């Protein structure tokens, strides 16, 4: 894009940045009650609206314009750095003080690029662009001092957070592809370790605010259960577990969900490991209905008991017989349920059963029989399928017959749950 250094407000072409140091509207606020003529012309005169630079939206690809305003000097400098990187031009600050910023291109002695900005008011931090020419006569470069490890660590923070093991070569290629910039392997290493510090720092801050978060939840949704369990490290309480069951979810579950709860756990991907435990219900439309969740140090019988005790109190479960649980059988879920609610029906996710079954007894025929046995709704049909299994492969039949049918076949489910779910994919 080619732009002449025209001052939009006055229509004049500015030759040098310093000539236009004064903002066109400076000193125009004197006002006064002079003659009517002047008043009239003043009313006609309208302040043009200048675009304000918004860091969140504009920083990735700064498009400078005359009059564009920046919240402060740092924001302007950051925008100039980013412009240099995106354009691949060696733009340098030749003037940089508390009132004025002037940038020129060092790529070529005759390069006409210039950006001059100054404070719009002595008492304000706002900077505005007064002179601008975006034309370059230089050629692109693929190395700039601005693409240092600090910049890399900020610009690629999200990607590093999602994939801390990101390969150095792949990282380099991405910088080249996105910004046409060559960075060294050393810079990438440093960027990754810088990013780690930033990310872990933000996690520390976030964990420290958990107690405020808990209070806020309780205030925003009165009646919610939010419990934080601490472990004492000397005199200092250290976060161990949190349990959240919002009042609205509690009420919704009791009012309109089937008496069935799917429980499951998964790993947290973060510098501080831990596991999330969830309880999910099924509503009248067979839709998923979140009930409660917790973050614990590790999935075990003890953490499941802690979670289920709180859940039982929240869902006002007095009689285990009225409720069905569905889960896989790993990491203490079944012992925890049996300890707390020995009479509750417990289903095991058929997909989990099958994936264990498959490791020893592979084959499509066996798979189809297992799923048929899970889906049939009467005991005689179930027996027919099991007989088929026995004929097909006695070893597979022996494996399956050890798993009580009441845990995984519809034919043996109690009818009161009003739900024939076989999978814990809630
Ligand atoms: Zn240039």
Ligand 1 midpoint to CA 104 (Å): 8
pLDDT in tens, 222-248: 889 999 988 888 888 888 899 999 999
- Low-confidence winner among 40-44, 98-102, 156-160 (lowest mean pLDDT): 40-44
3-class secondary-structure state, position 324: strand
Ligand 1 midpoint to CA 181 (Å): 16
Q: How far is it, in rounded angstroms, from Cα 420 to Cα 145?
A: 64
Ligand 1 midpoint to CA 92 (Å): 10
Determine the length of the chain. 426
Ligand 1 midpoint to CA 169 (Å): 30
Ligand 1 midpoint to CA 109 (Å): 9
Instruction: Determine the average pLDDT of the residues in 181-188.
Output: 93
Answer yes or no: are the C-beta atoms of 331 and 266 closer than 8 Å: no
- Residue 151: the pLDDT is 92
Q: Which residues surround ligand 1, an ion (CB under 5 A)?
A: 89, 105, 107, 111, 113, 136, 138
3-class secondary-structure state, position 7: coil
Paired tokens of 51 = 């675009």
Share of the chain above pLDDT 70, in %: 85
- Residue 171: the pLDDT is 93
Answer yes or no: are the C-beta atoms of 263 and 281 closer than 8 Å: no
**Torsion, Cα of 79, 80, 86, 92 (10° steps):** -160
In Å, the largest CA–CA distance within the chain is 110
Ligand 1 midpoint to CA 89 (Å): 6
pLDDT in tens, 350-386: 888 888 888 888 888 888 888 888 888 888 888 888 8
Predicted complex ipTM: 0.97
Ligand 1 midpoint to CA 148 (Å): 20
Ligand 1 midpoint to CA 102 (Å): 14
Q: How far is CA 117 from the centre of its chain?
A: 36
| Cα-based distances in Å from 369 to 210, 363, 411 | 49, 10, 14
How does residue 43 score in pLDDT terms, banded at 50, 70 and 90?
A: low
pLDDT at position 26 over 50: no
Instruction: Determine the average pLDDT of the residues in 307-328.
Output: 83
**Torsion, Cα of 231, 237, 242, 248 (10° steps):** 140
Ligand 1 midpoint to CA 404 (Å): 77
pLDDT at position 17 over 60: no
How does residue 77 score in pLDDT terms, banded at 50, 70 and 90?
A: very high
Ligand 1 midpoint to CA 140 (Å): 8
Kindly tell me the burial class for residue 203, based on how many C-beta atoms sit within 10 Å of its own C-beta (0-12, 13-18, 19 or more).
middle
How does residue 118 score in pLDDT terms, banded at 50, 70 and 90?
A: very high
Ligand 1 midpoint to CA 9 (Å): 26
Paired tokens of 198 = 């930033």
């Amino acid at each position: 894009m080619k732009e002449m250094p025209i001052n939009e407000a006055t229509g004049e072409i500015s030759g040098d940045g310093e000539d236009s140091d004064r903002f066109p509207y400076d000193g125009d606020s004197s006002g006064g009650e002079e003659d009517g003529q002047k008043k009239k012309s003043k009313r006609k005169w309208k302040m043009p609206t200048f675009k304000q630079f918004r860091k969140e939206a504009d920083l990735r690809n700064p498009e400078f314009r005359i009059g564009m305003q920046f919240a402060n000097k740092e924001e302007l400098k950051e925008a100039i750095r980013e412009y240099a990187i995106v354009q691949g031009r060696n733009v340098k600050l030749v003037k940089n003080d508390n009132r004025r910023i002037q940038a020129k291109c060092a790529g070529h002695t005759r390069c006409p690029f210039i950006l001059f900005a100054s404070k719009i008011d002595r008492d304000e931090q706002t900077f505005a662009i007064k002179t601008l020419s975006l034309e370059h006569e230089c050629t692109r470069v693929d190395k700039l001092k601005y693409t240092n490890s600090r910049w890399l660590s900020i610009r690629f923070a999200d990607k590093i957070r999602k994939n801390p093991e990101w390969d150095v070569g792949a990282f380099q290629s991405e910088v080249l592809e996105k910004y046409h910039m060559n960075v060294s392997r050393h810079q990438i290493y440093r960027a990754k370790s810088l990013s780690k510090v930033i990310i872990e720092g933000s996690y520390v801050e976030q964990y420290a605010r958990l107690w405020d978060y808990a209070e806020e939840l309780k205030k925003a949704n009165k009646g919610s259960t939010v419990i934080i369990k601490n472990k004492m490290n000397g005199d200092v309480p250290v976060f161990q577990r949190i349990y959240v069951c919002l009042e609205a979810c509690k009420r919704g579950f009791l009012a309109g969900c089937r008496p069935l709860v799917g429980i499951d756990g998964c790993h947290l991907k973060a510098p501080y490991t831990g596991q999330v435990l969830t309880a999910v219900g099924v509503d009248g439309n067979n839709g998923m209905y979140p009930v409660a969740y917790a973050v614990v140090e590790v999935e075990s019988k003890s953490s499941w008991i802690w979670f289920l005790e709180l859940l039982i109190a929240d869902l006002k479960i007095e009689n285990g017989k009225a409720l069905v649980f569905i889960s896989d059988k790993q990491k203490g879920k079944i012992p925890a349920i049996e300890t707390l609610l020995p009479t509750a029906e417990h289903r095991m996710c058929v997909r989990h059963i099958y994936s264990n079954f498959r490791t020893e007894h592979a084959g499509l025929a066996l798979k189809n029989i297992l799923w048929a046995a899970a889906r049939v709704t009467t005991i005689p049909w179930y027996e027919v399928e099991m007989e088929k299994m026995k004929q097909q492969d006695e070893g597979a039949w022996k494996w399956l017959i050890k798993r009580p049918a009441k845990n995984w076949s519809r034919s043996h489910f109690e009818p009161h749950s009003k739900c024939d779910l076989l999978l814990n994919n809630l």
